[in-house]
Structure 1
């Protein structure tokens, strides 16, 4: 079997499954396959008693030459233990060898092998190689110690091996790597390369062991902390029980607070049930915390606490007038409410109207739900606070702008983690009384999402027939909201759902006139901003001309918010000059404003300077107030097309089409040459082109400008008009009359045309405002044209009349 002269040896083959033998390593091997047993028997009968151990590439039952590697280890058989299931061998690897040939002999595999000696570096004393070898020894020693081997065993095993190649084989035989990685190390004959690879594997094993130790330490610490916490908690319970402080005292305190409340029977039963649950639950359990929070919410609600209304109407009117200028309709509505309360309280029961049922205190107060609609900055929110002060009630405000979840109103159900009451119940808890003034701000800004519709949730809150038993999802109990004075605010009526709008009494807020803003600035804004800026009335004086300049050139709004900001800007600049001793005091008039805060930012339309053909002046209304606009019409040769420009909406386009149809139908009656319409294109333009415009009230203006362009008769420049038209020429009523008329006054217009049915709206104007402008009521477009078109004979007649009036009288 041995040919020592050629270095070749024929040895029985021992196929190892998922095991790689290394030279210098002793390992127990189990064998049970017949071919393997025959190979072992053949080895034991031989003279050298050597066996060649080679790994299999594949996990198969019958080891064939094609599944065996061509590099293995020649091992010496040590101990042999025979058993029923096979043989247990103790093999000691002697040297690595290369397979030259596989063959089969007597039912087992044999191989001709040749020793494959290590390839040492050219210079074994090279510093890099020595450092590498030293690093492998140190890392291997650290790994062995971390794996739990005793220090003396590690020193005995590792220190006893000096050869670098043999040391690399020794470490590779014991570290935890895959069979493929082991075989790769076995096939690496270069000692330096083998050391490098072993170092990589050892370092990886060290990192893995350290990570496992860290995880183990953390787990043990956590388990130890939990056990310690549990132990201390049990001790605490025992101590509390000995001291009589096991949570029963807290339950009794809650029970005493509940006894003092005038709760409805159904609510009291639910509270008692929750108290019993709290007694059974552990003091520090999650359930007890949830129950305790729920019960504290209940006892903090004003189930029967009311604030006494101040029913002195004179004092209430004084308070309202102190805080706000104007707003007569709102103030009258509040005083009417107080008057009803006063009569119900002072009159004897037998004097009251019979047939009424319900609580004596809240009779006549249910259903008090007001909706303030108007542009921003006109005092909707602030008047609600004044109402509360005038009535002697608590004031609560919640903003609904952007709310998209029904839970904002009704709250979350208690089954959810972190559940809490809705904003209505939270507001009542903050109020501390069951009859506060509750402001629902920006109710037209409510959103809708997959989480529900907050507007629908408000239906129950604002329904006088239902809100005496409002049920919050978190509370789960009926709560009486019937004595609350709800006030909602909104900017746009059309954004409020119809069912919600139907439940509220609407109070319209119109924009302030220029004179109103002047008075408000004098009485409220300037004193407030002087105080906030640290100035006195002597140091800064704003003249009426300065305030009017701010109103006309720096603000475009219905309210006074921007006006107050501009006044504050002036106050800051003056405060700086006084603080730096540049000035001691200053009086500002209209011409001084631009020097302080810059050029005007608002350029309102002004009335035209002369009569023009095809240009009429209209009036429009926005949330920022009223203003004038010009409608321009040009007629040109074409194919009878109607061209509309100026970003007109669908309604204005239809008004233009109706005006053109009316002009064509009544051309002869209007004095229009039919040839002026035939084969002509009509172009209607409304400046400014970058601003979208829509609405029905421009019909009269478009018709007047169109007929002027077709007839060649100019339109009066001092006249503005508004109204919707029909194909028959009727002039229909429109809205926003007060704001439109005031806007025309500001623009220098002296006369306006209004639909006859809108004459009653002029009562909203003050007597002084009505005197400043001449109103022409009309019901038909012919009347409009008679007033608006300045015919040549009329102009000549007017000129002759003016000359007659100016001529000196005869002596």
Structure 2
């Protein structure tokens, strides 16, 4: 019975060991190092391990990841190598692992020896013949791999036993681990020699193929001169056939550049690059394609191509009125611009003179909420002037190269969006809209807003230099129109270069007119409906405006009307109705289901500690109810509702004013001692900030402290100081419109904002009563009811949520 051994396991990656060989091994993994340590601790000379190949080299060695057959090896030499070991393993005999066990983190194998099977009668001659074939093929294989023939003969000639010869050749043969493992597990010598012969013939064939490939490559390199000669012949053939070669490309580009009528300072540089292109070969010089693309761009840009301005003010007024309802101030400013251009053009008939007179106009910034017509007004300006129109959206642009382009030395370089737009429109004096200029980003690749400083400066853009082009391009004849939603998103140097035209939000009556004139007819056309097939009354449209949309513009309104039109189209297409009439609020509810919006409205009664303020976002103006409550505590102020730092400071200033003027406000001293004041602004999930809530917070706090109720029909806005002065704020028009939508009849505004009421529509001014104040005392006198008749203390009721 074969002797059993229990030995530490030495897992091998990407190699298979064979008996009779001394092999250097590098050990670095923890389990391998432990196995070596256990073997070295063995008594006497028995420093043996079971070396076995690993199936998957990417995993840590486990019982299931190891082959069963390996070799028993003795550690002959050990040397430390960095964090691992370098050892020489003397492989003694083949063995198979009956089982693997892990003890104390060390993998061990219970293994028995596997000897070669005895040869059968008459098999000796076959073994010797196969051994000779293996020896000869191994020498041939080694010679093809670069080893000297004499060294190979001396090495293999010293191995007489066929089995040992097979082990030596199999170890040094370049085979996958699985195939080497198969040779190790073959116990019959004759079968192992046969398999080895097949592998050797295959490897020799691979080596021959590689040799042929190397020879072919060398021959092809030697044919380089012949290829160049043939290419010259090909050029001649292409010329006879009328096909374009390098010279033809250069000639075509020269004609295009001549037709472009380049400025004098640009023409010399372009001629120099054209001469370089003529001296280049497209096959041998990679730069030839770069120069060709650059010249194509130069030839395509509108250096002196422009449209002639025909300014008809009556037609311009008609176009603006056809395309947009309301926006009187915006239309007046546009007509003023066109009037100046018309006067400049009078008495000049030459296109160049007219262009020069019309150049250097202002850079316009259309500032307002989404959906108020900023981009479409720019299109109307282009129509009124007879100019071409181009729009580029800058929202999310984070790279300076978006504006100025990449240098042409980079792979895939191209000009920035400005010159791309000029090439696309093909005119030197278009109306160029830079949309969403307040949405520019900043990254490590540069600041695109800084790159726009030159573009939007009438004194500098006469010689705008794009990084790709590298030549000055005149942008002074372009009428730039920028659009933005919020002023705060535009850098100050950029804002300083533009003339701001504010687009206010629309009132409900203006939205109703826009829906009747533009939105409803457009959605009928979109849904292939005739006018009589869908009829919507003003009452229904007004309900859609107030119950299904909440915005300063009309985009949501158009979507809601589009939903009405689609539902009507469905009814007509299915035969459920021949025409659809939407006359009442109930009809709207049937088609659009429940209302989508819950607008903030005026309180239904006067409240204690609840004041109505006004605020402004990019969606437009609205009102908010600021609540204040007095609770037992330590005299602290709590502010909730996700308020920003500025609003928190306003709340602290309001409390300080109330404490300092407690006597004049009718607040007993004991109400300020041992009590906390909690100020809350509802809609806590929405961040809020800004100074204009100061008077509202102060009114709510004073109401809670004094027991005087706040009038439900008054909305207020303004910033306050510690001395009680009311300072002016921004967004007055939008805030007043929001209060008007909410049904508030009286408005408290800072005195310094009185002049801004001129921007409000006449129907809004007639329906509201304004109080202009300079101090907080005036605000409280207007907003608070008379004090209660009962003496202090009184029970302070909990403010009811609006």
TM range (shorter): 0.7 to 0.9
Q: Distance in 1 between matches of 2:564 and 2:279?
A: 67
Q: Distance in 1 between matches of 2:254 and 2:89?
A: 84
Corresponding residue for 2:312?
Answer: 312
Corresponding residue for 2:722?
Answer: 727
Q: Distance in 2 between matches of 1:300 and 1:224?
A: 45
Q: Alpha-carbon deviation of 1:605?
A: 1.2
Corresponding residue for 1:567?
Answer: 561
Secondary structure of 1:249 counterpart:
helix
The reply on whether 1:748 has 2:746 as its aligned counterpart is no
Specify whether residues 133 and 70 from structure 1 end up closer, same or farther in structure 2 by C-alpha distance, changes over 3 A only. Answer: closer
Q: Distance in 1 between matches of 2:603 and 2:360?
A: 54
Secondary structure of 1:307 counterpart:
coil
Corresponding residue for 1:46?
Answer: none
The reply on whether 1:281 has 2:280 as its aligned counterpart is yes
Secondary structure of 2:663 counterpart:
coil
8 Å CA contact 2:612–2:712 kept in 1: the answer is: yes
Corresponding residue for 2:14?
Answer: none
Q: How does 1:154-303 map to 2 (within 5 A)?
A: 177=172, 192-198=187-193, 201-202=196-197, 204-205=199-200, 208-209=203-204, 211-212=206-207, 215=210, 232-240=230-238, 246-284=245-283, 285-303=285-303
Q: Distance in 1 between matches of 2:219 and 2:539?
A: 81
Larger Rg: 1
8 Å CA contact 1:118–1:190 kept in 2: the answer is: no
8 Å CA contact 2:625–2:682 kept in 1: the answer is: yes
Corresponding residue for 2:426?
Answer: 432
Q: Distance in 2 between matches of 1:578 and 1:447?
A: 48
Deviates more, 1:553-562 or 1:293-302: 553-562
Corresponding residue for 2:657?
Answer: 662
Corresponding residue for 2:669?
Answer: 674
Secondary structure of 1:320 counterpart:
helix
Deviates more, 1:522-531 or 1:167-176: 167-176
Corresponding residue for 1:120?
Answer: 118
Q: Alpha-carbon deviation of 1:794?
A: 11
Q: How does 1:515-530 map to 2 (within 5 A)?
A: 515-530=509-524
Corresponding residue for 1:608?
Answer: 603
Q: Alpha-carbon deviation of 1:740?
A: 1.4
Find 1:531's aligned residue among 525, 530, 545.
Answer: 525
8 Å CA contact 2:345–2:358 kept in 1: the answer is: no
8 Å CA contact 2:308–2:355 kept in 1: the answer is: no
Find 1:388's aligned residue among 382, 386, 410.
Answer: 382
Q: Which runs of 5+ in 2 are unaligned?
A: 1-19, 22-75, 78-87, 93-114, 145-159, 175-179, 791-802
The reply on whether 1:711 has 2:706 as its aligned counterpart is yes
8 Å CA contact 2:563–2:592 kept in 1: the answer is: yes
Specify whether residues 785 and 192 from structure 1 end up closer, same or farther in structure 2 by C-alpha distance, changes over 3 A only. Answer: closer
Q: Alpha-carbon deviation of 1:204?
A: 4.8
Please provide the CA RMSD for this pair: 3.9
Q: Distance in 1 between matches of 2:171 and 2:522?
A: 82
Specify whether residues 472 and 605 from structure 1 end up closer, same or farther in structure 2 by C-alpha distance, changes over 3 A only. Answer: same
Corresponding residue for 1:339?
Answer: 339
Deviates more, 1:211-220 or 1:254-263: 211-220
Corresponding residue for 2:323?
Answer: 323
Q: Distance in 1 between matches of 2:326 and 2:194?
A: 91
Q: Distance in 2 between matches of 1:602 and 1:190?
A: 79
8 Å CA contact 2:307–2:387 kept in 1: the answer is: yes
Specify whether residues 291 and 672 from structure 1 end up closer, same or farther in structure 2 by C-alpha distance, changes over 3 A only. Answer: same
Corresponding residue for 1:466?
Answer: 460
The reply on whether 1:500 has 2:494 as its aligned counterpart is yes
Q: Which runs of 5+ in 1 are unaligned?
A: 1-19, 22-56, 59-66, 72-116, 150-164, 180-184, 350-357, 796-811
Q: Deviations over 1:212-259 (max 9, x none)?
A: 456556667777888597665343124346678653333233223322
Secondary structure of 2:501 counterpart:
strand
Specify whether residues 219 and 579 from structure 1 end up closer, same or farther in structure 2 by C-alpha distance, changes over 3 A only. Answer: farther
Specify whether residues 454 and 166 from structure 1 end up closer, same or farther in structure 2 by C-alpha distance, changes over 3 A only. Answer: same
* Alignment: residue pair count: 655
Corresponding residue for 2:593?
Answer: 598
Q: Alpha-carbon deviation of 1:387?
A: 1.4
Q: Distance in 1 between matches of 2:686 and 2:444?
A: 34
Corresponding residue for 2:756?
Answer: 761
Q: Alpha-carbon deviation of 1:484?
A: 0.5
Q: Distance in 2 between matches of 1:136 and 1:607?
A: 105
Specify whether residues 207 and 774 from structure 1 end up closer, same or farther in structure 2 by C-alpha distance, changes over 3 A only. Answer: farther
Q: Alpha-carbon deviation of 1:542?
A: 2.0
Corresponding residue for 1:640?
Answer: 635
8 Å CA contact 1:413–1:473 kept in 2: the answer is: yes
Q: Deviations over 1:293-340 (max 9, x none)?
A: 211111111111110112101111111211122222332222222211
Corresponding residue for 1:449?
Answer: 443
Q: How does 1:34-113 map to 2 (within 5 A)?
A: none
Corresponding residue for 1:366?
Answer: 360
Specify whether residues 600 and 199 from structure 1 end up closer, same or farther in structure 2 by C-alpha distance, changes over 3 A only. Answer: farther
Q: Deviations over 1:653-695 (max 9, x none)?
A: 1111111121122222222222222322211111122222211
Find 2:476's aligned residue among 482, 492, 502.
Answer: 482
Q: TM-score, normalised by structure 2?
A: 0.74
Q: Distance in 1 between matches of 2:255 and 2:89?
A: 88
Q: Deviations over 1:713-745 (max 9, x none)?
A: 211111111111222222211121122122112
Q: Distance in 2 between matches of 1:173 and 1:710?
A: 101
Q: Alpha-carbon deviation of 1:365?
A: 2.9
Specify whether residues 752 and 221 from structure 1 end up closer, same or farther in structure 2 by C-alpha distance, changes over 3 A only. Answer: farther
Q: Distance in 2 between matches of 1:173 and 1:793?
A: 111
Secondary structure of 1:740 counterpart:
helix
Find 1:399's aligned residue among 393, 400, 403.
Answer: 393
Specify whether residues 611 and 222 from structure 1 end up closer, same or farther in structure 2 by C-alpha distance, changes over 3 A only. Answer: farther
Specify whether residues 141 and 537 from structure 1 end up closer, same or farther in structure 2 by C-alpha distance, changes over 3 A only. Answer: farther
8 Å CA contact 1:641–1:680 kept in 2: the answer is: yes
The reply on whether 1:623 has 2:618 as its aligned counterpart is yes
Q: Distance in 2 between matches of 1:68 and 1:542?
A: 95
Q: Distance in 2 between matches of 1:688 and 1:316?
A: 45
Corresponding residue for 1:379?
Answer: 373
Specify whether residues 317 and 68 from structure 1 end up closer, same or farther in structure 2 by C-alpha distance, changes over 3 A only. Answer: closer
8 Å CA contact 1:120–1:191 kept in 2: the answer is: no
Secondary structure of 1:259 counterpart:
helix
